[in-house]
Structure 1
Amino acid sequence: MEEQLREETWKPLWNFDLTDGRDELNLAEFPLAAIANRVPQGQKTFSFEDQVWDEGAKQKVNRKLTISGSDQFGLPTARDNDVLLALIHLTKCRNSFREPTVHFTRYELVKFLKWDDGGKSYRRLEHSLNVLASVTLFYNRAWWDLKGKSWRNRTFHILESVDLRGRESVGAGEQPLSSLTWNGTIFASFAANYIKKLNLEVYFQLDGAAARQAYRFLDKRFYHKRRWEFDIRVFACEHLGLSRSYDTGQLKRKLEPAFQELERIHFIKPMSRHERFVKRGPGNWIVIAEKSEKQIAVAEEKGLGRSAAKLVERGVTRTVAEEIATEFSAGQIERQIAAFDQLPKEKRLAIKNGGGYLVRAIRADYSVSPASKLEAKEVLKPREIQLTVEDRKRESRRAYWKGLSVSEKAAIEKLAFEHADSFVLSGWERALESGSEALTTGYRNTIIDQELDRMLCVS
């Protein structure tokens, strides 16, 4: 196996796209390492815990992760966390998570991590690999089983085994390859695709360990919505790893540099100290993080329009979001998104499928109240009596189309494309070129609907 790998063209890790990294979603939720590069002497364990709403069980779940270090190698530190992400990227680049065993050279990992090419760095890497192979993770109802759709108890090491070979020097690609094997629990999660993209180029630009952990955690959370409010102690101590002995003032001082770094890279929206940290009552402080407009624009550049990107952030699948953005006006979509965002927190949490609920709200054109603090049933409820103009159009089209024969439908479709306005027609052509079946179908339906409206004199 080693001879075969050496004979192939070896593409070192740093030559792969750093912006296309990966992160396992369970590992992004709680810190796996101390926030510093050194653990207090004598400390053998640390733990993190929080409470989340389990939509399947319809109840709150107390989650806890306990991390126990070995006597010889101790607990993971911030640098070990960096090595872990490098190993995930290594596995993605080498075999796309098809095999738990991955071959590598120590030199490529040291260079990828931008460590000095000296003996100290190689010893540091060896120590990190030993830490990841010896540390034990105890997930108490905190490991999400994608297949079972539930929070599970899991106990495991991160790496099952490590086989390190002799040190490689610059350009020495013919020396024996090292290898590692992932633990079965983590690799099963990789294989189940319970992973997300992580821009490692951005991650390694961040100086502070708190900023790096906040980037991972918020990058996961921003997938669901663009603005989050957290209890300051839960966010800082349980998800970033700051000391529980800090008072609120100390936590704010420790968090500020991390947020400033994330603002500097345009990851989160800039806020003043008073906007970032808000007092909700005696001893009750929250911290607010909102995805920056630049990040929204990046999503748009990757093929999603602004409205579709906002839908994806709130749990709608990309395909459905593209269909909705094509079928309905931006104003109608934005109106329902705003109403959804204004729902009280407990009401949003009680909705089993927020993305599905939002899609239904847009399709049915739920009535939107201007009051932002009303109960969910008062903010959004179906219009059961008065149909909107768009409702009347849609019903007329559906009734007429249903009564047509196959040949009649084909003739109308031909006319529709002949009469289509240039803007929609160019969108359909771009969709064809992109290969997106959902987007192509969405534009085709829009073109046909416009022709039906002309035929039926619906305005």
Structure 2
Amino acid sequence: MGAQIAMDELVDSLFPDIPPTELQTISGRDEMNLAEFPITLLSDRAPKGQKAIKFQDEVFDERRGKLITRKVVIEGSEEYGLPTAVDDEVILALLQIAKQTNDFGSREVLFTRLQLIQMLGWPNDGRNYRRIVLSLQRIASITLHYENAWWDKRRRAWTTRTFHIIDNVEINDSRSAQQELFPSFSRIVWNEVVFDSFQAGFLKGLDYALCVRMKLSTSKRIYRFLDKRFYHRPDWTFELKDFAYEHVGLSRRYEGNAHIVRKLQPALDELTGLGFLEPLPDSERYLRDGKDWKIRLVRKQLDPGRAKAPAKEPPSPLVAELVVRGVTEVTAAELVRSHLAEAVTEKLEVFDWMVANGDRRLQRSPAGYLVDSIRKRYSPPKGFVSKAERDRREAEERERARCEAEERERKRLEQARLAAERSKVAAYWEGLGPVERAALESEALEQADAALAESLLTSCGTPLESMARRLIREAHIRRLLGLPAAEAG
């Protein structure tokens, strides 16, 4: 009995019931690639015979310095078909559950179907349980092709990727969980491409409660796309067809501009009524340039009298360093709170060294490895040299190079000095006549150093005599010129 109570408490803590009023408190998240282009139909079923959905546009790629075409193709399976508007809602709800349960720390997400239904704001009945099963099966079966359209935050580049949203689905009947000792959780496993984008922090805040309140699928799609764009500026003008076809997902069967406007208007009215968009007259909303129409969308501004929310305190430098490397802000803050700053800084340095050296241990989840290295106190890998040690070695090398350069300069100056002295001695001797030279040599012999005089006596009659006389003579000239004595050797 005690084990059952403990398990019930665990279930309640991990998978609490979510009354509709509590949806208001959820801090929502949206993956920004999934917000940029639709990945599902706007309707509840695909037109007969349709096997794929295609979207594309053109953007200026600053890295390449030119316009590029971004293209997204979604292929459905033979058994389950193309993803629908309901599937889009389920994917977004799973994102919120992943945020709540593990803060995007694991590819695996555990949940109950009741929890997912409550997150979606659906009635708790058998029909919706079956809708969840079918939707998860369909989501797992679709293939997404992003051609120059998947933004890789780590590389800061548009990339081409083919993948599924989720790789695995396991569905169990959570309605009987309270009668079992071990409740039957359902689970999904995110595809590694999508999960890496989560870990890299390519997520934005989302008013999820507002999404749930929207009745129209078109409204939800427009909201997610514009909510991302409004981060940069509150007033956007798009080509009408590009906006409707490529970013909202409106069927291309609606060819005329007026027809497109009629299909968009209910969603724009809903978003205006919910306080997301500024109401605009048609003359300002739809701008005509001959046959081409544009649409202007402006974010609703807060009433001037409304109190502003307190400014969010900026994260500490260490938290920011962790977030830049793909760790979520919540996890980064927890790590900084529970570990010494020196320990976190050391692991950041080791991580950067491993990235620079292409360490294979980072291939699966770089941010996950960084978090584990801090929590589990990993030892530095073989070959790692800390920055402090590198700085010390570099300082020693610089000092050695400086000393060698100084020694080379000293020798150069010394050789130049000796050469100048020898030149002065030679010039003095060359300037004397024969009589003066004889007198100088006689005087030099009288004043010669005892050792030099002895060398002359011992070398008389030998080839060394001439050298000895020259040394005695040059030593005397040096004295006359006030030059230091020549060094021996």
What is the TM-score when the length of structure 2 is the normalising length?
Answer: 0.59
- Whether 1:208 and 2:216 are equivalent positions in the alignment is yes
Give the deviation of 1:176 after TM superposition: 1.2
Q: Deviations over 1:369-399 (max 9, x none)?
A: xxxxxxxxxxxxxxxxxxxxxxxxxxxxxxx
1:222 is aligned to 230
Other-structure match for 2:16: 12
C-alpha distance in structure 2 between counterparts of 1:297 and 1:96, whole Å:
35
> Partners in 1 of 2:138 and 2:15 — Cα distance?
27
TM-fit CA distance, 1:7 = 5.6
* CA offsets 1:319-352 (integer angstroms, 9 cap, x no match): xxxxxxxxxxxxxxxxxxxxxxxxxxxxxxxxxx
What is the deviation of 1:117? 2.0
Residue identity in the other structure for 1:91:
A
SS of 2:47's partner is coil
Letter in 2 for 1:206: M
Q: CA deviation at 1:234?
A: 0.5
1:241 and 2:245 matched: no
Contact 1:18/1:200 (<8 A) preserved? no
CA distance in 2 between counterparts of 1:13 and 1:90 reads: 12
Structure 2 residue 147 is matched with structure 1 residue 140: yes
Matched, 1:278 2:282: no
Alignment correspondent of 1:46: 53
| Deviation of 1:300 (Å) | 3.9
The residue type paired with residue 248 of structure 1 is: N
Distance 2:239 2:210 in 1: 26
Structure 2: gaps of 5 or more residues: 313-489
Deviation at 1:43, TM superposition (A): 1.2
**TM superposition shift of 1:245:** 2.4
1:13 Cα shift? 6.2
Q: How does 1:95-244 map to 2 (within 5 A)?
A: 95-168=102-175, 175-244=183-252
1:189 Cα deviation after fit: 0.2
Bigger mean CA deviation after superposition, 294-303 or 117-126: 294-303
Aligned residue for 1:132, secondary structure, equals helix
Q: Report 1:246-265 matches (<5 A).
A: 246=254, 247-265=256-274
Q: Distance in 2 between matches of 1:297 and 1:217?
A: 28
Q: Aligned partners of 2:83 and 2:119: how far apart in 1?
A: 19
Give CA deviations for 1:391-434 in whole Å, capped at 9, x if unaligned.
Answer: xxxxxxxxxxxxxxxxxxxxxxxxxxxxxxxxxxxxxxxxxxxx
Q: In 2, Cα distance between the equivalents of 1:115 and 1:269?
A: 29
Change in CA separation of 1:171 and 1:215 when aligned onto 2, cut-off 3 Å: farther
Report SS of the residue matched to 1:204: helix
Which one-letter code corresponds to 1:202 in the other structure? L
Q: How does 1:77-88 map to 2 (within 5 A)?
A: 77-88=84-95
Structure 1 residue 74 corresponds to structure 2 residue 74? no
Distance 2:200 2:177 in 1: 37
Q: Residues 354-433 of structure 1: matches in 2 within 5 Å?
A: none
Q: 1:52 to 1:75 in 2, by over 3 A?
A: same
2:73 partner SS: strand
How many residue pairs get aligned? The number is 302
Structure 2 partner of 1:294: 302
After superposition, the Cα gap between the structure-2 partners of 1:238 and 1:172, relative to the gap in structure 1 and judged at 3 Å, is farther
Q: Which amino acid aligns with 1:49?
A: Q
CA distance in structure 2 between the partners assigned to 1:257 and 1:140 by the alignment:
32
- Aligned-residue offset at 1:16: 6.4
Query: In 2, are the aligned partners of 1:104 and 1:177 still within 8 Å (CA)?
Result: yes
SS at match of 1:293: coil
TM-fit CA distance, 1:299: 9.8
Distance 1:239 1:105, change over 3 A: same
* 8 Å contact kept, 1:141–1:152: yes
Amino acid at match of 1:274: S
Displacement of 1:70 in angstroms is 0.4
Cα displacement (A) at 1:19:
4.3
Contact 2:150 2:160 in 1 (8 A): yes
Q: 1:176 to 1:144 in 2, by over 3 A?
A: same
**Alignment CA distance shift 1:136-1:245 (3 Å):** same
Q: Is the 8 A contact 1:107 1:169 kept in 2?
A: no
Contact kept, 8 Å, 1:13 with 1:90, in 2: the verdict is no
Q: Is the 8 A contact 1:266 1:295 kept in 2?
A: no
Structure 2 distance, partners of 1:52, 1:172, is 55
Moved over 3 A (4+): 3-7, 15-19, 169-174, 295-300
Give the secondary structure class of the aligned counterpart of 1:301: coil
Q: Which residue number corresponds to residue 25 of structure 1?
A: 32
Describe the SS at the equivalent of 1:201: helix
Q: 1:221 to 1:302 in 2, by over 3 A?
A: farther
Deviates more, 1:33-42 or 1:154-163: 33-42
Change over 3 Å in CA distance of 1:104–1:66 after alignment to 2: same
Kindly tell me: are residues 227 and 102 of structure 1, through their superposed partners in 2, closer, same or farther at Cα, counting changes over 3 Å? same
Q: What is the aligned-residue RMSD (CA, Å)?
A: 2.4
1:112: Cα distance to partner?
2.0
Q: How many angstroms apart in 1 are the aligned matches of 2:103 and 2:76?
A: 29
| Offset, 1:146 | 0.5
Matched residue type, 1:36:
S
Q: Helix, strand or coil: the match of 1:137?
A: strand
Counting aligned pairs with the same residue, the percent is 38
Q: Shift in Å at residue 116 of structure 1?
A: 2.6
**SS in structure 1 at match of 2:204:** strand
Distance in 2, Cα, partners of 1:38 & 1:297: 45
Structure-2 separation of matches of 1:13 and 1:23: 22
Per-residue CA deviation, residues 226-281 of structure 1 (Å, 9 max, x unaligned), is 1000000000011011111211111011111111111111111110122111102x
Structure 1 residue 169: Cα displacement: 5.5
Closer, same or farther in 2 for the Cα pair 1:273/1:169, shift >3 Å?
farther
Q: Secondary structure at the match of 2:175?
A: coil
Residues 107, 170 of structure 1: 8 Å contact kept: no
